[in-house]
Structure 1
């Protein structure tokens, strides 16, 4: 029996994606609700005021495009909904490919998870190099803690406490939402995911939020490259320190 609401982020201009994801979920008899995505290319949403382009250029050497801002706003609004409801939710994007057995197993067993897990990625890990360690298991799935975030926002499980953490640390936008969500050393929400993954990305659909192309890049001066590499190095160091402290704490318990 399903206990948590499932929300699917879908642009009104993408009816074929809506139909495809609906067919997948209906096939495994899983109830869901469509959540209208914010189309940043067509509307200037009030949440966009949180975006700091100067900071994005400073640390990343590029701007977020309007589609990326719309994606960020769409997820942000669902975090608010989760916090207001006071109940965990599952968020999916409409270009997800669902692994029927694994996804239904998670949906029907998620209520057994303890408060340790505020945020669990359900899709395939998309980084080339990472490590993971089993934290627990539910039904046919293992929940692992990962040394690096998954990249992407294809699908995840989120609790109200996790939503509040994301909202708290998301008042100043300068990164794509998936990269922000991977900064667990900032949000204090450790990186957990399922093995095997419950979802993957449907590569037959082109991105309609523009992750690949950026609207504006800083001039490729040497100092721009140095700033960006410095930021990336700083992020890697902070992640490494956080992981070391986490592992040390676990060994002492």
Structure 2
């Protein structure tokens, strides 16, 4: 059985109880992973990886302490995945599970080839994207997505994918879900389930907090950001073309 880790701040007791109840009802063993609180002193050493200058230059935003804690929490679970050398499922504590699709996915994991290193388990939140089937398991359809999902609510991850995420995450300047979406940079292809296995529970507000937009940005920084966004679009598009051509061959 694939190990399930639930990211939870120690202070978020209601969230822990809610997700624990859902997993217990499905008779699925899991482990609560104590999230890093980016607001707590002393600051966790991993938060030194954040480069605010790059964040403001390329994203026009400063990451909140909650976002930094979220990044650190996922980063530590990537390390855990490599350490135990087994695939894992990471779930944030505000998830609302869809019983049958989630159980079906758990049962279908043995059918998934090693080449599929990471699978998002929720609906893609982009306004425009395309997807197409790359694997039909017994009860789950795995799709390749042309754009990332804009969230890290829950995902399946192999050690090989975790290593790539770690290797390409030496310096942080965007939220962890946006970093994970940059599959052309981190080399972890963007797969997801066609039908969602879960979603975010609407009764919970975000524990993360929002980014702060940079103010009084120089013309040079504005130009750098526009060039960065254009470059991202071009690289993503070229990567997707190559991926589709490779599938045909």
The alignment covers a number of residue pairs equal to 248
Match of 1:26 in 2: 24
Are 1:165 and 2:157 an aligned pair?
A: no
Alignment of 1:6-17 (within 5 A): 6-17=4-15
Match of 2:237 in 1: 240
Match of 1:51 in 2: 50
Alignment of 1:1-253 (within 5 A): 3-43=1-41, 44-210=43-209, 213-215=210-212, 217-251=214-248, 253=249
- Structure 1 segments, 4+ long, off by >6 Å, are none
The normalised TM-score by structure 2 is 0.96
Contact 1:7 1:33 in 2 (8 A): yes
* Unpaired stretches in structure 2, ≥5 consecutive residues: none
Contact 1:90 1:157 in 2 (8 A): yes
Contact 1:57 1:218 in 2 (8 A): no
Contact 1:106 1:139 in 2 (8 A): no
* Unpaired stretches in structure 1, ≥5 consecutive residues: none
User: Deviation of residue 216 (structure 1)?
Assistant: 5.6
Aligned-pair Cα RMSD in Å: 1.3
Structure 2 CA distance, aligned partners of 1:200 and 1:91?
13
